């Protein structure tokens, strides 16, 4: 018996709306007009908020935060495929998708202003807390999907993570477990080409990230992540597969972070302006606007009107968030550790209370 | 009432809770078909089916991670880590993620899960099958840690842990899995998390321990009472985090002397924390330094040397004597 | 632009010496006769020692230990491809391979008798300590391989692990790092179909374990793990690739653990006798003996002679090991924690010394 | 001599050691091209090339694991974990594997590696970027833990750590990375691991700390001396494991009073261990309970509340006053 081929695999690439706004009519999904406009609104809001947060951060009114500039399409495109009762497990750059899902802007602001309140929203959103530990959320998504599977309900869980996250053991264990149990979960890798300064080619020697699915026995696909339609179509397929009990899918969305990793980062240290410009030409918003205009759904004046409206909303949200921040009680940090405050921790809370109250006077004495 | 060893008592708790609450699911390496390498989950697969009792790949971070997800979505996962040392592979998932969902989401999300694990040494097991990592959890606020010592409380505490709204690490002293039997009632019994138990009362010295070493402590107390003409109060912590400081402090106020026994390495162990609390709350009642009889600050040795590592009755007796004679 | 194939992959299967001892002449490697006989010796010794250890364990003279019965070919076949200055990172069942490499039998005995001394052997063997934490050693292998790469030497590192280990995050991170740095390492998965009671199909949903290599951008191959020649040929290819600077390979050796997981295990709880019998027919030793006989290198009387000789060696090794065990100083457990004993730990050592000395008398008192 | 902040001092140590010993290699997430997110490894890639300074994927267990392998094979790896909280992802590799190779192989193998990590809070960073997990290492025998507080010692201790034959976790208080400068000699300087330093001597109270809070402690000591008419001895631990008990005990024997300050959660923290050792070695010298000024037993809060979590000068002063007045 000679050496024999045993198994063979293939990973596809999907693009529907190209960089110049040309659509592949054969593949174009039919989405309601209201949805097309809502997509535009959410992407525009994410971009405008990103800019505003940058200013707030420079004014010291907000902590360092990760920009989503350039990546507004990928997460949103995928989330379009979910039902409202499906679960969404975000990473930290899917602002546009969260808005589509109904998350109040104030939450995003509070989160980056350093308050746990930023993660407190309606349970009906079925959106999990924003994770900081890279890759960790992939496992929680699999657990949530298993809960749905065990209960016999048909909700699907979609989880987002970056190219960097695929290097973590957690990602591996999540994919492997999802494969073994055929969990109804969709893994969406937002490959923005960098993990802070480390380029995609140093993150893994694999030709694509989507092919990592082969290791777990489920399908993977690469899509143009700046193309809302391709993301939606790939996600739709994956969600349906999951809902039918046919197990997980890995979708790799190719995109680019046009801004810095966070406001503390200087991308010029690790990438060329030329590279950035190449990707700027593939801007998902520009492309989407052409698409809407070609379909007669959008005009310059509508755009101006929308931006005015959104800026006003942002102003209002910032005011609310800063009000909440100013009125946050520091001692509440004790109140959500356990369902009930254990006696010794209650004593520590009292101890802290003394000092929070005293701080002014005593620190005045320290300054004497 | 039936006489049960700890394995049987725990199995009984799992059966009853699974029957009572269909949100309870049990999983881990070899827990389903094999019934667990120590047989704690034996028969559950047969009784509750493969949706609620399932085997996992060798994937500890995965086990804790999906358990977290299951709990976030409203289930009541009771997962098993095959030996508690392998919890190290999942400390990030437990200590940074599961333990903090409630606080990071300001109560929107919570993680009512139980992580069971055979724990501790003394059974001639391989390297890394003997760890006592309980003190580490004290530095992971948001989790609770329970360590039973005998079958009856083990059962009642496991029930409480499953019903607890927060993540509980439930460590089972494998050395006493089958070494003793107790009356364990068939009917539901719950013992509250956070309560220590005075298992022997006395006036001259407080002997504090938890887990397998309760047996040695009780024997040492008896020997000491006879040899030194004193009475010894023995406290079984049962819950390690959050600790029942009050029971400890009241006892030490009465006895003025204290010896603490555990298998874990000494530095920054549970005994250190108990000493710190006694120092803070009743220093002036102390007639002698508090003695620690613990594992040493070395890796748990391969089993041919474990007898020299673990506390022994003579070591405990010696500490009692020195504390009394101080 | 429609949906397009982006990347394609294939994983091969290799068998050279089949279950009936028939060899594929086109693929047969040319190994020196002495090596062929040495292979037989090492596999036979591993099997005989396994049996003896089982008895020792039942007599309470040894701890529980993992049987290598049925798996004697895979590790050994792969190790044949190494040079003496290459590094070998074992799991815990590659006894035959360790013997081929020159490891004294006494070490194996001491290890399972519960003494760290079992892991103490000549540094020239370039064999790493036996690991207990599943999958952890794969990372150490990559680190060792990187050390060789950085120093510019051409040594290769080969690491063994089980089917279960592929589920661990450590395995993933090891493969990913090895791919990124093109480290000179050969990953050998000894797929014996079970991780304790959990069958291969519950370990991963992937068709093969070898295809996991695709996730990291390097080749994977499946071989008949009961066929020394196939293992050797696949390993040879992989070792050469690594030595030439062409990066890692994943070899999946299909084999079967004919005995229990360890002496504490009862395989009847999770697998059928029929399954076991099917695999018994594929016994690597039987096959190898036919191969030797067909080449005129072996006879029944030689076999009897060899077994007599090996049993005598085993007797001698057990005696030595038990002597060492009886003379082991418990307090030495303090002496290898750090290069130098820190003062506070020295105090703990003195404390322990008192009790090790006292134990007899005081425990006598405890028994009073 | 040159004035250097801690980032510069550490960078200097790395440069000198890399030049001196070609077995030293530096790697981690964003350490090469980026020069580290805090710039500690800035310029090393340019000076020593990509074989000895390289970026890694986001893979903490991987970083510690390959570091272990590099060390096993005779290199001197100095790896970086981007923030010390992410060490949790690698505790199994560190605590169970790297820490124990020497003992599990009876000295055949050893792991001379350094794991550097920015550590602690107070810089308005995101969740999980503020951890103080040092006490956990005390339960991982086989590792050493160093936490410098100021640039000069930071440099000299990093050199010692790189030359140490055992794994050293080197935690860098990010709050003082750039907040103060010191004379740091250009020439080689080594400070021994395992030695605490009395940075201010006094007779009435021993104030023990490490890391960033040395600054607050020094200020509090000054204020207390002026306000309460006492002198305060300030001890900077520098090495956390193994701890310099002798320096502590001698000081407390002299002063009879002690306050311990750290950011980490209180229970089973370093302060607990110090209290336990004082209890064991000089209980009768104590005039008052030892006070702990620490983080609380809660997850480090998101940064808007961190000021209420972290020790402050008023909290330290208050503890000093109570201890003096006891
Ligand atoms: C476990 C862990 N390791 C390291 C970090 C530090 N860190 C924050 S973001 C980041 C890069 C992540 O890259 P990627 O997954 O591609 O996501 P992106 O930021 O590009 O969206 C790193 C290393 C972290 N937060 N968690
Ligand atoms: C990290 C870790 N998890 C769990 C275990 C317990 N355990 C010991 S052997 C084993 C099965 C390993 O299976 P595999 O990798 O296929 O190796 P095999 O025993 O079949 O050779 C398990 C789960 C362990 N030793 N380490
Ligand atoms: Mg990225
Ligand atoms: Mg196996």
Q: Is the predicted pLDDT of residue D1 greater than 80, yes or no?
A: no
Note whether residue A242 is domain-resident: yes
Query: What residues in A contact D301, CB-CB < 8 Å?
Result: 116, 330, 333
Question: Which residue out of A272, A325, A333, A334 would a mutagenesis test of the D interface target, given it has the greatest number of D Cβ atoms within 10 Å?
Answer: A333
Query: What residues in B contact A92, CB-CB < 8 Å?
Result: none
Q: Is the predicted pLDDT of residue A148 greater than 50, yes or no?
A: yes
For chain B, what is the largest distance between any 2 Cα atoms, rounded to a whole number of angstroms? 60
Buried/exposed C165-197: b ≥16 CB within 10 Å, e otherwise: bbbbbbbbbbbbbbbbbbbbbbbbbbbbbbbbb
Give the separation between CA B30 and CA C143, rounded to whole angstroms. Answer: 31
Q: What is the mean pLDDT of residues C10-34?
A: 97
Query: What residues in B contact C170, CB-CB < 8 Å?
Result: 89
pLDDT at res. A263: 85
Q: What is the mean pLDDT of residues C245-252?
A: 98
Residue A359 binned pLDDT confidence (cut-offs 50, 70, 90): low
Q: Is the predicted pLDDT of residue C368 greater than 60, yes or no?
A: no
> Domain check: are C252 and C338 in the same one?
no
pLDDT at res. A88: 98
Q: What is the mean pLDDT of residues D297-315?
A: 97
Q: What percent of chain C has pLDDT over 90?
A: 95
Q: Is the predicted pLDDT of residue D228 greater than 70, yes or no?
A: yes
Reference D237, options D191, D288, D179; nearest CA is D191
Q: What is the mean pLDDT of residues D111-139?
A: 98
Question: Which chains sit next to C, with 3 or more Cβ pairs under 8 A?
Answer: A, B, D
From edge to edge, which strands make up the β-sheet containing B114-119?
B53-55, B24-28, B76-80, B114-119, B168-173, B144-146, B239-241
Q: Is the predicted pLDDT of residue D74 greater than 90, yes or no?
A: yes
DSSP string, D50-94: TTTEEE--S-HHHHHHHHHHHHHTT-EEEEE-SSGGGGGGGHIII
Please work out whether the CB of residue A253 comes within 6 Å of at least one atom of ligand 1: no
Task: Give per-residue pLDDT as tens, B27-80.
Answer: 999 999 999 999 999 999 999 999 999 999 999 999 999 999 999 999 999 999
Give the separation between CA A279 and CA A258, rounded to whole angstroms. Answer: 8
Q: What is the mean pLDDT of residues C156-179?
A: 98
Residue C225 carries which DSSP code?
A: T
pLDDT at res. A264: 85
> Domain check: are C351 and C217 in the same one?
no
Say what angle helices C105-112 and C33-58 make with each other, to 10 degrees: 30
> Domain check: are C85 and C185 in the same one?
yes
Domains of chain B: 2-184 (3.40.50.970), 197-325 (3.40.50.920)
pLDDT at res. D274: 98
Question: What's the gap in Å between C219 CA and the centre of ligand 4?
Answer: 22
Q: Would you mind telling me the total number of residues written for chain A in this entry?
A: 368
> Domain check: are A301 and A167 in the same one?
yes
Question: What's the gap in Å between C68 CA and the centre of ligand 2?
Answer: 14
C-facing residues of A in 70-89 (CB < 8 A) are none
Give the separation between CA B211 and CA C160, rounded to whole angstroms. Answer: 37
Give the separation between CA D226 and CA C354, rounded to whole angstroms. Answer: 49
Inter-chain touch C2–A218, beta carbons under 8 Å: no
Q: Is the predicted pLDDT of residue B251 greater than 90, yes or no?
A: yes
Note whether residue C339 is domain-resident: yes
Ion ligand 3, residues whose Cβ is below 5 A away: A 162-163, 192, 195
> Domain check: are C87 and C204 in the same one?
yes
Inter-chain touch C216–A206, beta carbons under 8 Å: yes
Residue D116 carries which DSSP code?
A: E
Reference B310, options B216, B233, B222; nearest CA is B216
Mean pLDDT (chain B, rounded): 98
pLDDT at res. C264: 85
> Domain check: are A154 and A175 in the same one?
yes
- What residues contact D236, with CB distance under 8 A and at least 6 apart? D149, D153, D196, D197, D198, D199, D209, D210, D214
Contact D123, D175 (CB under 8 A): yes
Mean pLDDT (chain A, rounded): 95
Q: What is the mean pLDDT of residues C138-158?
A: 98
Q: Which helix (H) or strand (E) holds B67?
A: helix B60-72
DSSP string, B124-185: -PPTTSS---HHHHHTSBTBEEE---SHHHHHHHHHHHHH-SS-EEEEEEGGGTTT--EEE-
Question: What's the gap in Å between A130 CA and the centre of ligand 1?
Answer: 13
Please work out whether the CB of residue D110 comes within 6 Å of at least one atom of ligand 1: no
A336 closest CB neighbour out of B54, B67, B102: B102
pLDDT at res. B308: 97
Question: What's the gap in Å between C49 CA and the centre of ligand 2?
Answer: 22
> Domain check: are C253 and C348 in the same one?
no
Please work out whether the CB of residue A165 comes within 6 Å of at least one atom of ligand 1: yes
pLDDT at res. A367: 37
Report which ligand 1 atom has the smallest distance to the Cα of A162: 15
- What residues contact A46, with CB distance under 8 A and at least 6 apart? A68, A72, A95, A96, A99
Of C72, C95, C134, C267, the residue with max ligand 2 atoms within 8 A of its CB, to mutate for a pocket test, comes to: C134
Say what angle helices C300-326 and C33-58 make with each other, to 10 degrees: 50
Residue C363 binned pLDDT confidence (cut-offs 50, 70, 90): very low
Q: Is the predicted pLDDT of residue C128 greater than 70, yes or no?
A: yes
Q: What is the distance, to the nearest Å, from the Cα of residue A314 to the centroid of all Cα atoms in its chain?
A: 19
Task: Give per-residue pLDDT as tens, B106-157.
Answer: 999 999 999 999 999 999 999 999 999 999 999 999 999 999 999 999 999 9
Residue D272 binned pLDDT confidence (cut-offs 50, 70, 90): very high
Nearest C-alpha in A relative to D297: A345
Task: Give per-residue pLDDT as tens, A264-292.
Answer: 899 999 999 999 999 999 999 999 999 99
Nearest C-alpha in A relative to C3: A14
Mean pLDDT (chain C, rounded): 95
Residue B95 carries which DSSP code?
A: I
Task: Give per-residue pLDDT as tens, B162-209.
Answer: 999 999 999 999 999 999 999 999 999 999 999 999 999 999 999 999
Give the residue ranges of DSSP H helices in chain A.
Answer: 33-58, 72-79, 95-101, 105-112, 136-151, 169-181, 200-203, 228-243, 273-280, 284-294, 300-326, 343-367
Sort strands D232-236 and D197-200 into parallel, antiparallel or unpaired: antiparallel
pLDDT at res. A366: 38
pLDDT at res. D199: 98
Q: Is D291 helix (H, G, I), strand (E, B) or coil?
A: strand
Q: What is the mean pLDDT of residues D257-282?
A: 98
> Domain check: are C263 and C339 in the same one?
no
According to DSSP, the residues that pair with B116 across neighbouring strands are B80, B170
DSSP string, C4-59: EEEEEEEEEEE-SB-TTS-B-TTT-----HHHHHHHHHHHHHHHHHHHHHHHHHHT
Contact C113, B304 (CB under 8 A): yes
pLDDT at res. C307: 98
Q: What percent of chain A has pLDDT over 90?
A: 95
Please work out whether the CB of residue C195 comes within 6 Å of at least one atom of ligand 2: yes
Please give the model's pTM, rounded to 2 decimal places: 0.98
Cβ contacts below 8 Å, chain B against chain D, sum to 135
A176 closest CB neighbour out of B59, B68, B75: B59
pLDDT at res. C358: 60
Give the separation between CA A348 and CA D308, rounded to whole angstroms. Answer: 12
Give the separation between CA A175 and CA A15, rounded to whole angstroms. Answer: 25
Note whether residue C78 is domain-resident: yes
> Domain check: are A261 and A216 in the same one?
yes
Task: Give per-residue pLDDT as tens, C77-116.
Answer: 999 999 999 999 999 999 999 999 999 999 999 999 999 9
| Cβ atoms within 10 Å of A273's Cβ, excluding its own | 10
Q: What is the mean pLDDT of residues D78-84?
A: 98
Phi-psi group of B49: left, alpha or beta (phi > 0 → left; psi -120 to 50 → alpha; rest → beta): left
Note whether residue C305 is domain-resident: yes
Say what angle helices B213-228 and C343-367 make with each other, to 10 degrees: 70
| Residue of A257, A287, A289, A291 marked catalytic | A257
Inter-chain touch A173–B246, beta carbons under 8 Å: no
D299 closest CB neighbour out of B141, B291, B302: B141
Question: What's the gap in Å between C191 CA and the centre of ligand 4?
Answer: 5
B302 closest CB neighbour out of C114, C164, C196: C114
Residue A66 carries which DSSP code?
A: B
Task: Give per-residue pLDDT as tens, B281-308.
Answer: 999 999 999 999 999 999 999 999 999 9
D58 closest CB neighbour out of A118, A167, A331: A167
Nearest C-alpha in D relative to B275: D276
Q: What is the mean pLDDT of residues B15-20?
A: 98
Q: What percent of chain B has pLDDT over 70?
A: 100
> Domain check: are C118 and C200 in the same one?
yes
pLDDT at res. A364: 38
Residue A295: active-site member? no
Give the separation between CA A56 and CA B119, rounded to whole angstroms. Answer: 50
pLDDT at res. C1: 58
Q: What is the mean pLDDT of residues D287-303?
A: 98
Q: Is B255 helix (H, G, I), strand (E, B) or coil?
A: helix
Contact B127, B91 (CB under 8 A): no
Q: Is C148 on the interface with D (CB under 8 A)?
A: yes
pLDDT at res. C365: 38
ipTM strictly over 0.90? yes
Provide φ and ψ at B268, rounded to 5°: 60, 25
Query: What residues in B contact C197, CB-CB < 8 Å?
Result: 30, 33-34, 55
Q: Is the predicted pLDDT of residue A99 greater than 60, yes or no?
A: yes
Give the residue ranges of DSSP H helices in chain C.
Answer: 33-58, 72-79, 95-101, 105-112, 136-151, 169-181, 200-203, 228-243, 273-280, 284-294, 300-326, 343-367
Task: Give per-residue pLDDT as tens, A202-247.
Answer: 999 999 999 999 999 999 999 999 999 999 999 999 999 999 999 9
Residue C263 binned pLDDT confidence (cut-offs 50, 70, 90): confident
Note whether residue C6 is domain-resident: no
Say what angle helices A105-112 and A300-326 make with each other, to 10 degrees: 50
Residue-number span of the structural domain to which A361 is assigned? 333-367
pLDDT at res. C8: 97
Query: What residues in A contact D266, CB-CB < 8 Å?
Result: 348
Reference A18, options C25, C1, D10, D27; nearest CA is C1
Give the count of domains, chain A: 2
Give the separation between CA C52 and CA C60, rounded to whole angstroms. Answer: 12
- CATH code assigned at A36: 3.40.50.970
Give the separation between CA B266 and CA C240, rounded to whole angstroms. Answer: 49
pLDDT at res. C360: 44
> Domain check: are C244 and C350 in the same one?
no
Note whether residue A354 is domain-resident: yes
Of A64, A90, A164, the residue with max ligand 1 atoms within 8 A of its CB, to mutate for a pocket test, comes to: A164
DSSP string, A243-291: HTT---EEEEEE----S-SBTT--GGGTS-HHHHHHHHTT-HHHHHHHH
Question: Which chains sit next to A, with 3 or more Cβ pairs under 8 A?
Answer: B, C, D
- What residues contact B33, with CB distance under 8 A and at least 6 apart? B45, B55, C197, C269, C270
Q: Is the predicted pLDDT of residue A361 greater than 90, yes or no?
A: no
Question: What's the gap in Å between C257 CA and the centre of ligand 4?
Answer: 8
- What residues contact A232, with CB distance under 8 A and at least 6 apart? A29, A31, A77, A78, A80, A81
| Residue of B129, B262, B287, B307 marked catalytic | B129
Q: What is the mean pLDDT of residues C242-264?
A: 96
Q: What percent of chain C has pLDDT over 70?
A: 96
> Domain check: are C313 and C351 in the same one?
no
Q: What is the mean pLDDT of residues B268-278?
A: 98
Provide φ and ψ at B98, rounded to 5°: -55, -45
Contact A192, A160 (CB under 8 A): no
Inter-chain touch B29–C198, beta carbons under 8 Å: yes
Please work out whether the CB of residue C162 comes within 6 Å of at least one atom of ligand 2: yes
């Amino acid at each position: 018996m000679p050496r024999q081929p045993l198994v063979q695999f293939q990973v596809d690439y999907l693009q529907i709306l190209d960089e110049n706004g040309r659509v592949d009519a054969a593949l174009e999904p039919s989405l309601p007009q209201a949805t097309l406009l809502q997509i535009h609104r959410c992407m525009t809001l994410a971009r405008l908020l990103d800019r505003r947060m940058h200013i707030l951060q420079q004014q010291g009114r907000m902590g360092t935060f990760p920009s989503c500039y350039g990546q507004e399409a990928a997460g949103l495109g995928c989330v379009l495929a979910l039902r409202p009762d499906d679960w969404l497990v975000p990473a930290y750059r899917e602002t546009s998708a969260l808005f589509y899902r109904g998350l109040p802007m104030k939450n995003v602001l509070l989160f980056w202003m350093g308050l746990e309140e930023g993660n407190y929203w309606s349970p009906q959103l079925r959106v999990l807390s924003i994770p900081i530990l890279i890759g960790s959320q992939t496992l929680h998504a699999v657990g949530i999907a298993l809960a749905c599977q065990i209960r016999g309900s048909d909700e699907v869980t979609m989880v987002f993570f970056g190219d960097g996250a695929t290097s973590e053991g957690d990602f591996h264990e999540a994919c492997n477990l999802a494969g073994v149990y055929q969990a109804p979960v969709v893994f969406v890798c937002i490959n923005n080409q960098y993990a802070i300064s480390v380029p995609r080619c140093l993150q893994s020697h694999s030709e694509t990230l989507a092919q990592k699915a082969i290791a777990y026995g489920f399908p993977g696909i690469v899509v143009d992540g700046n193309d809302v339609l391709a993301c939606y179509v790939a996600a739709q397929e994956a969600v349906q597969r999951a809902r039918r009990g046919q197990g997980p899918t890995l979708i790799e969305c190719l995109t680019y972070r046009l801004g810095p990793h966070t406001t503390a980062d200087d991308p010029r240290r690790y990438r060329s302006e030329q590279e950035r410009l190449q990707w700027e030409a593939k801007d998902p918003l520009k492309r989407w606007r052409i698409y809407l205009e070609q379909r007669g759904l959008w005009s310059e004046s509508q755009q101006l009107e929308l931006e005015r409206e959104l800026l006003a909303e942002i102003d209002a949200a910032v005011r609310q968030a800063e009000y909440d921040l100013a009125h946050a009680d520091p001692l509440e940090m004790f109140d959500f550790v356990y369902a009930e405050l254990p006696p010794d921790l209650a004593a520590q809370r009292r101890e802290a209370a003394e000092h929070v109250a005293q701080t002014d006077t005593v620190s005045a004495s320290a300054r004497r | 009432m039936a006489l049960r060893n700890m394995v049987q008592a725990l199995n009984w708790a799992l059966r009853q809770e699974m029957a009572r609450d269909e949100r309870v699911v049990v999983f881990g390496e070899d827990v389903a078909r094999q019934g667990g390498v120590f047989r704690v989950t034996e028969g559950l697969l047969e009784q509750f089916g493969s949706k609620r009792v399932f085997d996992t790949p060798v994937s500890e971070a995965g086990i804790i991670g999906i358990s977290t997800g299951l709990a976030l979505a409203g289930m009541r996962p009771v997962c098993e880590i095959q030996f508690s040392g392998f919890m190290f592979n999942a400390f990030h998932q437990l200590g940074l993620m599961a333990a903090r969902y409630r606080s990071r989401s300001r109560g929107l999300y919570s993680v009512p899960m139980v992580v069971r694990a055979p724990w501790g040494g003394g059974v001639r097991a391989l390297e890394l099958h003997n760890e006592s990592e309980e003190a580490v959890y004290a530095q992971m606020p948001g989790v609770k840690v329970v360590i039973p010592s005998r079958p009856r409380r083990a059962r009642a505490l496991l029930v409480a842990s499953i019903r607890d709204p927060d993540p509980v690490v439930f460590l089972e002293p494998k050395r006493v899995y089958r070494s003793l039997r107790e009356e364990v009632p068939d009917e539901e019994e719950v013992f509250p998390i956070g309560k220590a138990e005075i298992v022997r009362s006395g006036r001259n010295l407080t002997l504090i321990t938890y887990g397998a070493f309760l047996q040695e402590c009780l024997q040492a107390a008896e020997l000491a009472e006879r040899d030194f003409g004193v009475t010894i109060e023995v406290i079984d912590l049962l819950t390690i985090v959050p600790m029942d400081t009050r029971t400890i402090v009241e006892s030490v106020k009465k006895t003025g002397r204290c010896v603490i026994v555990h298998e874990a390495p000494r530095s920054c162990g549970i005994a250190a924390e108990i000493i710190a609390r006694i120092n803070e709350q009743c220093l002036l009642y102390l007639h002698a330094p508090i003695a620690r009889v613990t594992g040493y600050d070395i890796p748990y040795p391969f089993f041919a040397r474990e007898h020299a590592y673990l506390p022994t009755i003579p070591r405990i007796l010696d500490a009692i004597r020195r504390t009394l004679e101080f």
